[in-house]
Amino acid sequence: MNARWWLPVCFVGVALAVSAAVAQQDEGPILRPKANPKPGAKPAATTLLVACDLACDWKLDGEAMGRIEAEGSAKAAVSPGQHIVVATAADGADRVQKIPEAKAGAQVVVSIELQPVRDARRKAELEAHEKAVREASETSKREATPPAQDRRVQVGSQYEQGVSLYSEHRYAEAKPFFEEACDAGNMAGCWSLGRLYGRAEGVAQDFPRARALFQKACDAGEMRGCSGLGVLYSEGFGVAVDYSRALTLQQRACDGGASMGCSNLGVLYDKGQGVTQDHAQARALYKKACDGGYVHGCRNLAILYKGGLGVSQDPAMARSLFKTACDGGDSDACNDLRGLP
């Protein structure tokens, strides 16, 4: 009985040994020593790959290597060891240096970022400029203040330059002169600046800004500022329509010698806004404005004579008044004149 089980047990042992050997062999490849390079084979090259984010001129160990375009690259063979790579922006304003370590038979990538250097330089230049401006301003303030008379002449000259440019419709150029005059206390400059913002002449239309400037001028006694403020209230430009307030402001301007205030007050009587409609009163106010040199008042008066409103219809008088206004620069009056029979 025992003899019959002996051989199978041996076979099982042999089978297990063979199976283990096969399993061991399947765990991975058999490692063998690398073969020696063939006699005469060239060793792998050692190289640098240099890339620039901006167009740059680059040098390798002090030797000029040429131009690399923005986001481009260039390759150079080098010996193992440290090397000096210098890249300069195409305009020569910015420079970056790197010292890469090249290993035998390998390629080293050297990435040159000039844009951060440029941004930092420009920021530093801007800060230096702003500092210089502040210091110059502080120095100017510490210097002796010129005589009051000279200062008034200077401010008046700035305002006049603005007026001259405005008359040529060079509104954007006139703006800084009006600003300087206004900042220096010339209320005519404040009114003129408010007019630019109210009419969108050379600037983006800004009724709140116009209102603040007109208010400043009016409070300081510049009657044209009062009239400009009154127009905002009668037309509802940037504020709620308020004919009563508009009437008060235009009356103040007219009584204060501003011919435009008389003309604008006449418009309120002409339309019956904030007051009972009265063409005769409007006529008197338009005439006062026209006689005072305000050509828009002449045109408004011409319209009354043309239509016989508050006055006997008089085509000849209307034509004469339209011509006066047109010659004075009122383009609407010129159109009215051409439309007459």
**What pLDDT, on the 0 to 100 scale, is given for residue 38?**
60
Exposed e or buried b per residue across 215-236, where buried means at least 16 C-beta atoms within 10 angstroms of its C-beta: bbbbeeebbbbbbbbbbbbbee
Backbone angles phi, psi at 58, to 5 degrees: -130, 155
Outline where DSSP puts E strands in the chain: 47-52, 56-60, 63-68, 73-77, 81-82, 85-89, 95-98, 101-102, 107-112
Any idea which of 65-74, 132-141, 240-249 has the lowest mean pLDDT? Answer: 132-141
The pLDDT assigned to 133 comes to: 86
Q: How confident is the model at residue 126 (pLDDT cuts 50, 70, 90)?
A: confident
Q: Cα 234 to the chain's mean position, in Å?
A: 33
Please state the rounded mean pLDDT for residues 121-135.
89
Average pLDDT, integer, range 308-336: 94
Other C-beta atoms lying within 10 Å of the C-beta of residue 152: 14
Reported confidence tier of residue 36, pLDDT bands at 50, 70, 90: low
Taking 60 as the threshold, does the pLDDT of residue 335 lie above it? yes
Residue-averaged pLDDT of the chain: 86
Question: Residue 98 forms beta bridges with which residues?
Answer: 85
Domains and CATH numbers, the chain: 47-115 (2.60.40.1120)
184-197 CB burial, b ≥16 within 10 A, e <16: eebbbbbbbbbbbb
Residue 3, pLDDT score = 42
Within 13 Å, how many C-alpha atoms sit on residue 77's CB side?
A: 4
If you search the block for the tokens 């007109």, which residue do you land on? 214
Q: pLDDT digits over 188-235, tens only?
A: 999 999 999 999 999 999 999 999 999 999 999 999 999 999 999 999
- Checking if the pLDDT of 187 tops 60, the result is yes
Q: How confident is the model at residue 138 (pLDDT cuts 50, 70, 90)?
A: confident
pLDDT tens per residue, range 259-316: 999 999 999 999 999 999 999 999 999 999 999 999 999 999 999 999 999 899 999 9
pLDDT, mean of residues 35-44: 62
Write the pLDDT tens digit of every residue in 80-111: 999 999 999 988 999 999 999 999 989 999 99
